[in-house]
Amino acid sequence: DEFVDLLFEELKSLGINAVTYMPSRNTAGQLAKVQKLCGQYGFFQISGEDINSPRQKFLCEALRKKEFSHLIESTWALIGHEQMATKDKSLGMFSHESSQKWLRLSDRIKEYADIGKFDVNRSDAFPGLRVRGDRKGAGNGSDPRDNSCAGCSAQASCGRVISEP
């Protein structure tokens, strides 16, 4: 508790973009301070709740509280980030390109949460990005194993080419 201010300052200086914390394992005061510092430094907040025992409940009651509801959306955003960064690192949530496209972190969280909530194999799985290829012929994504489309910035698992609009 004594050095949390210094910790956040150092994290920012190191280029860290996110902080994870566990609502169920900290005091209300500690959580309020961490959330305040996350806002001050512009950090993406991630739930660090985990399950360490088969007897532990899968549902975290703390995440049902209003003050932590944003962590649910953050989880979806993290999933969306992983999906996109796996396709192409430049499509990740904190890439230079994404940071320029969505200047506000809250906008990026919403966009990536939307991506995370979609089935990546659906044609509309990447809102804000254009999907090329109509899946009706060789070389245009008709064969999921065919990833030979020229100029792609990411390859969808169905073979369609994903690029920025």
pLDDT digits (tens, 9 = 90+) for 23-58: 888 999 999 999 999 999 999 999 988 777 788 777
**Residues 148, 89, 124, 151: is their CA dihedral positive or negative?**
negative
- CA–CA gap between residue 78 and residue 50 (Å, rounded): 15
| Dist CA 127 CA 109 (whole Å) | 13
Residue 73's pLDDT is 93
Give per-residue pLDDT as tens, 123-155: 555 555 544 443 333 333 434 333 333 333 444
| Every domain of the chain and the residues it spans | 1-49+59-67
